[in-house]
Amino acid sequence: MPQEHAVITQEMIDQVRARIGVEITPREPYYNRAATIDTIRHFVDGIGDLNPLYRDPDCARKTRYGRIAAPPCFLYSVCWAPSSMGFPGIHAWHSGSDWSFHQPILMDDHFTYTWTMTDLVEKTRSQMANRTFIQYHDLLYKNQKGEVVAKQHHWAIRAERKSSGEKGKYRDIPKAEYTSEELEAIYSDYDKEDIRGANPRYWDDVQVGDELTPVVKGPLSTRDMIAWSMGGGTPFMKAHGIFLRYARRHVAVAMIDSQTGALDVPELVHEEDSRAQEIGIAGAYDYGCQRISWLGHLLTNWMGDDGFLKSLYAELRRFNIVGDTTWCRGRIARKYVDNSEHLVDIECWGENQRREITMPGRATVALLARG
């Protein structure tokens, strides 16, 4: 097993570049292979989504689907990032996703997927680490009928853990502190959440400039990350001897804690401060796909069960560390008809308690029209 943090070499770069354009079908499932009543429930539990369409068979039977459905971002639990990205021992930060959705995800659907690396770009003058690259992948998801359910364009920053820790660009993010009044205001925002559900939202009634009822997430805790992992999954979280055998097969997957010398999976940066600080972050922080799924929650709340999320784009610009609170917000930017579909473009974003936009995004939703 490795005893030192890896350093990017030209050989690594050449090996990764050689994968550009090669479509890969995984040999093992990433996490979920099917949208069952339980996998859907675990996923929505992991993002705090209470929509009955995803939970209650009786309510779901009365919808146009006739059964429980899954939110669009459920596909992160099928695969949220390619697992063979190259650069062994070099950290990966999920930095954004651009989704297009083509079919609803219904209970008992089964999925296959492929990924293709499309580009590798070196980021010059990086303040984060010595050498930093942005790696781009396209993921294609199909159901048991062979239908394309969704496409995801995914990108991640790759940087050396040691040099990132030494530069410590994000080491001084202040830890959130709240007064009792501020906490009560956050809890009050939870109570204001508006799940449109079975009440149709008609395109005719939407006006440009309308604001979506915010969805609040936080203050972020380790419990939230564990709940996300239980629902959204990760290929690295394996226990005891299963993990040891996995680590021996994939030697560079382990991450060193220089304070203790312990080797463990890089996912622990989301749960242990010491692991996050090892790579220059102030403390444990959320998963990128977790936060993007919160935007999905905002949008499906607003559009109702008869709406369809056509696309979702989000960039992860700032770290969201334990203690931070995120408000997912949105505003109607445009409404129009295209090929008989009644569409709405939405500007959406995640904003923390410091009024920093940590996740800018945009989406397109198809709605019912009256008559």
How would DSSP label each residue in 38-76? HHHHHHHHHHT---GGGT-HHHHHTSTTSS-EE-GGGHH
Distance, first Cα to last Cα, the chain: 65
Q: Residue 5: inside a domain, yes or no?
A: no
- Angle 222-232/288-303 helices, nearest 10 degrees? 80
CATH number at residue 91: 3.10.129.10
Q: Any bridge partners for residue 313, and if so which?
A: 98, 362
Q: Any bridge partners for residue 327, and if so which?
A: 216, 351
For residue 61, the enclosing domain spans 10-367
Cis ω on the peptide bond leading into residue 219 (within 30° of 0)?
yes
Per-residue model confidence (pLDDT) at position 317: 96
Q: Any bridge partners for residue 256, and if so which?
A: 263
What are the structure tokens assigned to 156, written together? 């991640």
User: What parts of the chain have a pLDDT lower than 70?
Assistant: 1-3, 258
Q: Residue 3: inside a domain, yes or no?
A: no
Q: Residue 283: inside a domain, yes or no?
A: yes
Q: What is the dihedral of CA 52, 55, 58, 64, to 10 degrees?
A: 70
Q: Could you tell me the CA-to-CA distances from 122 to 13, 26, 109 in Å, in that order?
A: 10, 27, 39
How would DSSP label each residue in 83-124? S--S-TT-EEEEEEEEEEE-S-EETTEEEEEEEEEEEEEEET
Per-residue model confidence (pLDDT) at position 161: 86
Per-residue model confidence (pLDDT) at position 3: 54
| Domain count of the fold of the chain | 1
Q: Any bridge partners for residue 361, and if so which?
A: 314, 348
Rounded (5°) CA angle 364-139-65: 50
- Helices and strands, number each (H, E), in the chain: 10, 15
Q: Any bridge partners for residue 153, and if so which?
A: 98, 138
The 10 Å CB-count burial string (b at 16+, else e) for 4-17 is ebbebeeebbeebe
CB atoms within 10 A of CB 77: 26
Per-residue model confidence (pLDDT) at position 73: 98
Q: Residue 51: inside a domain, yes or no?
A: yes
Q: Residue 255: inside a domain, yes or no?
A: yes
